[in-house]
Structure 1
Amino acid sequence: MLFGFLNLHKPAGMTSHDCIGKVRRLLSMKKVGHGGTLDPSATGVLPIALGRATRLLTYLPSDKVYRAVIRLGMTTTTDDLAGDVIETTEAGHITQAMLESALTHFQGPLQQIPPAYSAIQVDGKRLYDLARQGKPVPVKPRSVEVYDLKLLDWRPMGEWPEAEVEIACGAGTYIRSIARDLGVMLQVGGTLAQLSRTRSGGFSLVDSLTFAALETQLEQQQFRPIPPDVGLQILPTLTLTADLAQRFVWGQKLPIETHSGYLQVHHETEGFLGIGKYEDGHLKAKVVSAGATPTRNASNAEGTEG
């Protein structure tokens, strides 16, 4: 059974769920999950967990980086080009200075209203289902954070002025909402024209696999999952001696002074054991890796932090 992660380069035109289904078929396995939905029209990094690594998805870093093209002068039902055009407005007067000034308002902690077409649930129903039924509901703003926002290119010429930006943000941030709200601030309307996720936690676009590359590796029997500790590299690491490692795998509480919160736990010679959490003066196992059955020996019971 495969155990680890796949850094998939999601193509445009597929939902994240579609990608999971295709990975299941290619790898002939049922237990597959992803670490963050991408809209069907978006491309880029889609972290996929294989086998028991699906239990680790909760612990993946939530920070993400996107490249986006925002079209000004257009408002759509979905806040991207997949929706119907609601209104168009002349935007030829927008200058780079005006744009840069407006973009400063979209950095730091924000209160953001998600798009009407999104997977967020209200009373058990997803917003996009309600919107398609002609029953849109008011949505409360949500707290999100944008760590950095850079203007990469400004293209004022042509039918529609467009700004290419790079956005580093936390979990739950909708880039479509930023495009929409930027247009509102500039009083011309705005919508998302293009989106690519270039990083998600410890996974980057340059290291991602397209479906074609994955299929080639499988045909040549060269595919190997990314080890779980690579995807979880943001977490502190605690290395245990063999005796303590065995007790960790058995689910025993370990009286070890270490970092508070969640940690990667490793055997001193056999590698990744799972996820632990230090609380109430003890290390407790939260997730134990598949096949984590370290050999016990007579070494001293102690842990080392790394």
Structure 2
Amino acid sequence: MNQRSPRRPRREPPPPGLLVVDKPAGWTSHDVVGKVRGLVGTRKVGHAGTLDPMATGVLVLGVERATKLLGHLALDTKTYLATIRLGVETTTDDAEGEPTATADARAVTDAAVVDGIAALTGDIAQVPSSVSAIKVDGKRAYERARAGEEVELEARPVHVARFDVLETRRQDATVDLDVVVDCSSGTYVRALARDLGRALGVGGHLTALRRTRVGPFTLAHARDLETLGAEADGEAGRASLSLDLDAAVGTAFPRRDVDAGGADDLAHGRPLPTTGTAGTTGVFGPDGHVIGLVADDDGRARPVLVLAPAG
């Protein structure tokens, strides 16, 4: 009679929270999610704010119950460090595409660059890159473009709060600009590179892109996959989070503390007295742990998300 092998003890799921990853170049955001699922020991991992494969930097992941937070995080402002090459246009507006036009950029002056950047700062109407993830008739624009279709996207309003040149490097017939960009969600830095090059009459594309901030989350919160892998191989057996659920809510939202009665009301989905503040507020119980998120509506602070339900 065959004996059954002993059943392995069931592994406890990780605590809920956020993991801010410094995404490496060449990885899709989905690749990172798949890797992190193994490193933290759960399939309940999701990401907010997709990064292109060529880009590096801040990618915010939710783990366990914190995946519910992702749709409520205020990630509408972002900061990038980028390199723009003047003198070459490409099919994708970045270094992954094929060159479509070249021009001698040596005559482009620093003053002309400043004027070109000024025109792309503030509230602008931007036509996204044809290889963006925007859907056209139910299909991603980049899927249509890579299939050889002509993709025409409409201009969209975006806000560029800062667009500054950090360093200029002139070599042969091209000019490389290291820039920093603070912008609203939905802004394509690739499109800024394209439009700056066209405005200067020499074409342009993006050769490097690094996201340093998404909303309140920065590279100071981020951890690279190598470090996370070493943790998972260590004594703990899994990678630790950047922020537990309490710290994540406390970082991302204004905080409101309530007594036991208020905590019980929110845990049961009942509204609280108005907060008097715009937007979403994180509510914490008398034990210091988060109960959920509320937002003022019709004179009451109504539940947006309950993270610690009754019982």
TM value normalised by structure 2: 0.90
Instruction: Report the CA distance between 1:59 and its aligned residue.
Output: 2.0
SS of the equivalent of 1:115 reads coil
* Number of aligned residue pairs: 293
Residue 115 of structure 1: aligned partner:
129
Residue 207 of structure 1: aligned partner:
221
Instruction: Report the CA distance between 1:256 and its aligned residue.
Output: 3.3
- Would the aligned equivalents of 1:261 and 1:279 in 2 still touch at CA under 8 Å? no
Q: Distance in 1 between matches of 2:219 and 2:278?
A: 31
- Would the aligned equivalents of 1:15 and 1:39 in 2 still touch at CA under 8 Å? yes
Q: Distance in 1 between matches of 2:119 and 2:274?
A: 45
Residue 226 of structure 1: aligned partner:
243
Residue 27 of structure 1: aligned partner:
40
Residue 72 of structure 1: aligned partner:
86
Cα 1:182–1:230, aligned 2, differ >3 Å: closer, same or farther? farther
Instruction: Report the CA distance between 1:32 and its aligned residue.
Output: 1.1
Instruction: Report the CA distance between 1:213 and its aligned residue.
Output: 0.5
Amino acid at match of 2:290: F
Amino acid at match of 1:223: S
SS of the equivalent of 1:183 reads helix
Amino acid at match of 1:95: T
2:263 to 237, 240, 245: 245
Q: Deviations over 1:277-304 (max 9, x none)?
A: 1101111111122x4558xxxxxxxxxx
- Would the aligned equivalents of 1:75 and 1:85 in 2 still touch at CA under 8 Å? yes
Cα 1:257–1:127, aligned 2, differ >3 Å: closer, same or farther? closer
- Would the aligned equivalents of 1:70 and 1:163 in 2 still touch at CA under 8 Å? yes
- Would the aligned equivalents of 1:260 and 1:279 in 2 still touch at CA under 8 Å? no
Instruction: Report the CA distance between 1:67 and its aligned residue.
Output: 0.2
Q: Distance in 2 between matches of 1:197 and 1:163?
A: 16
Alignment of 1:211-290 (within 5 A): 211-220=225-234, 221=236, 223-232=240-249, 233-289=251-307
Alignment of 1:283-302 (within 5 A): 283-289=301-307, 291=308, 293=310
1:155 counterpart = 2:169:
yes
Residue 157 of structure 2: aligned partner:
143
Worse overlay, 22-31 or 83-92? 22-31
Q: Distance in 1 between matches of 2:55 and 2:45?
A: 21
Q: Distance in 2 between matches of 1:54 and 1:256?
A: 26
Q: Distance in 2 between matches of 1:284 and 1:218?
A: 39
Q: Distance in 2 between matches of 1:144 and 1:11?
A: 27
Q: Distance in 2 between matches of 1:33 and 1:73?
A: 39
Cα 1:268–1:107, aligned 2, differ >3 Å: closer, same or farther? farther
What's the % identity of the aligned pairs?
A: 38
TM value normalised by structure 1: 0.91
SS of the equivalent of 2:208 reads strand
Worse overlay, 23-32 or 43-52? 23-32
Q: Distance in 2 between matches of 1:96 and 1:270?
A: 54
Cα 1:30–1:150, aligned 2, differ >3 Å: closer, same or farther? same
Instruction: Report the CA distance between 1:143 and its aligned residue.
Output: 1.0
Q: Distance in 1 between matches of 2:247 and 2:91?
A: 39
2:199 to 180, 185, 210: 185
Worse overlay, 231-240 or 263-272? 231-240
Q: Deviations over 1:95-144 (max 9, x none)?
A: 21111121111111111111000110011010011111111221111111
- Would the aligned equivalents of 1:60 and 1:231 in 2 still touch at CA under 8 Å? no
Amino acid at match of 1:43: T
Instruction: Report the CA distance between 1:87 and its aligned residue.
Output: 0.8
Amino acid at match of 2:34: G
SS of the equivalent of 1:161 reads strand
Q: Distance in 1 between matches of 2:129 and 2:77?
A: 20
2:147 to 112, 133, 142: 133
Mark the runs of 5 or more structure 1 residues left unpaired by the alignment. Answer: 295-306
- Would the aligned equivalents of 1:203 and 1:231 in 2 still touch at CA under 8 Å? no
Residue 47 of structure 1: aligned partner:
60
Cα 1:64–1:230, aligned 2, differ >3 Å: closer, same or farther? farther
Worse overlay, 113-122 or 231-240? 231-240
Residue 118 of structure 2: aligned partner:
104
- Would the aligned equivalents of 2:131 and 2:141 in 1 still touch at CA under 8 Å? yes
- Would the aligned equivalents of 1:6 and 1:225 in 2 still touch at CA under 8 Å? yes
Cα 1:147–1:288, aligned 2, differ >3 Å: closer, same or farther? same
- Would the aligned equivalents of 1:201 and 1:231 in 2 still touch at CA under 8 Å? no
Residue 175 of structure 1: aligned partner:
189
Q: Distance in 1 between matches of 2:204 and 2:274?
A: 53
Give me the CA root mean square deviation: 1.7
Q: Distance in 1 between matches of 2:282 and 2:172?
A: 51
